[in-house]
Amino acid sequence: MVFLVLAIICSSSLALLLKYGSVRKTNIILLINGNYLTASVFALGLIIYKGGFHFSWSAVLFAVFLGIIFAETFVIYSKAISFAGTALATVSARLSIIIPVIFSIILFDEKPSQNIIIGFVLVLLTLYLFYLSLKNHDSIADSVKKYFYLFLLLIGIGVVDFSMKIFERTFDIAEKETFVFMIFFFAFLYTLTRILSAKIKYDKQTYMIGLVLGLPNVLTIHFLLAALLTLPAIIVFPVQNIGVILLTAIGAYIFWKEKINLFGKIAIAVGIAAIVFLKL
């Protein structure tokens, strides 16, 4: 249970650090570059600890693609938090589990259970409630822009999750640690290239936030895996997702007085229900 709590805290701090960066109006590319530098160092340390590199060139190419997707999804996550609020962005990120489910049904001919069908319907309802929440708070033009980032975030993280499933089905499991390192490293190189090409000015405070951001980004995965060794997945995944949503919403309210209107609160409740059904 301790590892599950730590996974929730780390995952929540990730969103809250992005919110902090947004409030400080930091350059998101510089921040993300620092994040992936930390993540790369940790992943490299794990490879060395486990005895060296294992990779195929096809895995390298796949990692290059995913490194770019990882980095751009982080940008979208930051913008979604900035535009639509931390709580709604976190719910959208967690609802992304529906994307691997849909792709698995289409590409791998997996049969959806009754719970998945109910969860899918609840996801659609949550997306509609997102729109009502934003429309009730902003002009139509602003609400569409914010909704777009929430939807794009759901798709982006969902594609990342499904790509990891493709890796598990296609590549040798012995390559996994090296593959994860390459994703982080190529994301670092990609954002570094953007920094240099755009001549983005180095800011020490922003980069330090990015370096710190990399810690919960990496530790979340390890704490989650440790929790799965002592608790059943049917408990770990729903509790982790619900815990992250609630802790993030509470943290955003305490630190920045970020309020959620009625439609937003209903969206969070329905989104939590959707996650429970999709994870059962």
Domain ranges of the chain: 2-279
Contact 158, 96 (CB under 8 A): yes
Q: Which residue has the tokens 């751009």?
A: 72
Which carries the bigger pLDDT value, residue 135 or residue 16? 16
DSSP 108: S
What is the reported pLDDT for 141?
Answer: 59
DSSP 47-106: HHHHTS----HHHHHHHHHHHHHHHHHHHHHHHHHHHH-HHHHHHHHHHTTHHHHHHHHH
Residue 70 identity: F
The percent of residues in the chain predicted with pLDDT above 90, rounded, is 53
Query: If you average pLDDT over residues 4-31, what whole number do you get?
Result: 91
What is the reported pLDDT for 106?
Answer: 87
| Enclosing H/E stretch for 119 | helix 114-137
What's the whole-number average pLDDT of the chain?
A: 89
What is the reported pLDDT for 97?
Answer: 87
Contacts of 74 by beta carbon, 8 Å cutoff, 6+ apart: 28, 32, 35
- Reported as a single tens digit per residue, the pLDDT across 31-49 is 999 999 999 999 899 888 8
Contacts of 77 by beta carbon, 8 Å cutoff, 6+ apart: 15, 18, 89, 93, 153, 156, 157
Alpha carbon of residue 78 to chain centroid: 10
Q: Alpha-carbon distance 225 to 236, whole Å?
A: 10
When pLDDT is cut at 50, 70 and 90, the band that residue 267 belongs to is: very high
DSSP 204-234: HHHHHHHHHHHHHHHHHHHHHHHHHHHS-HH
What pTM, to 2 d.p., does this model score?
0.89
Contacts of 86 by beta carbon, 8 Å cutoff, 6+ apart: 15, 16, 19, 248, 249, 251, 252, 256, 258
- Reported as a single tens digit per residue, the pLDDT across 73-110 is 999 999 999 888 899 999 999 998 899 888 888 888 88
- Reported as a single tens digit per residue, the pLDDT across 123-173 is 999 999 998 888 766 555 577 788 889 999 999 998 988 888 888 788 887
- Reported as a single tens digit per residue, the pLDDT across 236-248 is 888 888 899 999 9
Query: If you average pLDDT over residues 107-130, what whole number do you get?
Result: 90
